[in-house]
Amino acid sequence: MNKKRIVLLVIISVMVICCVTYVVLSLMPPKEPPPWYVLTSPLEQSVVDDLCGKLDLTAKEREKLCIGQAVYPDQFLDAFKRTFPAGSSYEAVQEKFMGYQSRLVRSDDGKYMYTYYDFRGDGVIEIAFDYKNHKLISLGSTQNYDDWYPGRLKQLTEEAQQR
């Protein structure tokens, strides 16, 4: 009798876990591309090949990013961070990506420098490198318009959809 109860409890528990998992997964929204992707287009294959050759990619990243699928610059962000850890020099970054540099901003005292690399050439998604005394302190992507201009992303998206 005791074994039957244990088996019944295990079966009921498994069924409850399966039902809860199904409900939770069905309530999760489908994975959609970031909204700023409508403002630009994927990278050209020649640029993807260049990035794949110059960045420190994991095998999984190489499979996901370098095999001819549509990819965007911010998808390479982890590889940029691995290739250029904090303390990397401005010259090391320039050596690999000088041709993609879109902007260079220096502080008045010359201590801080910000460089932006636009791999698509349209100014939508740039990879930004922040330096102090020519040593990298951080890097990131500039694509999240709403952080700086609330409502601007919606406006740009609507304009892009009207074209």
Given a contact cutoff of 8 angstroms between Cβ atoms, the answer to whether 124 and 103 are in contact is: no
Domains contained in the chain, number:
2
pLDDT at 156 over 80: no
Residue 1 CA from chain centroid, whole number: 57
Coil, helix or strand for 103?
strand
Which two tokens mark 52?
A: 């794949």
Given a contact cutoff of 8 angstroms between Cβ atoms, the answer to whether 104 and 97 are in contact is: no
Q: What is the pLDDT of residue 145?
A: 53
Is residue 3 domain-shared with residue 64, that is, in the same domain?
Answer: no
pTM: 0.70
Is residue 57 domain-shared with residue 8, that is, in the same domain?
Answer: no
- CA angle, 162 then 122 then 106, to 5°: 135
**Residue 64 and residue 71: Cα distance in Å, rounded?**
9
Is residue 16 domain-shared with residue 63, that is, in the same domain?
Answer: no
pLDDT band at 67 (very low <50, low <70, confident <90, very high): confident
Which two tokens mark 102?
A: 């879109």
- CA angle, 99 then 125 then 86, to 5°: 70
Is residue 20 domain-shared with residue 52, that is, in the same domain?
Answer: no
H/E element holding 114?
A: strand 112-117
Residue 6 belongs to domain spanning: 1-31
Task: Find the distance separating the first CA and the last CA of the chain, reported in whole Å.
Answer: 72
**Residue linked to tokens 């998992």:** 21
Is residue 143 domain-shared with residue 80, that is, in the same domain?
Answer: yes
Is residue 73 domain-shared with residue 150, that is, in the same domain?
Answer: yes
Mind listing the pLDDT tens digit for each residue in 74-131? 899 999 999 999 999 999 999 999 999 998 989 889 899 999 999 998 888 889 999 9
Q: What is the pLDDT of residue 33?
A: 73
The arithmetic mean of pLDDT across residues 67-80, rounded, is 89
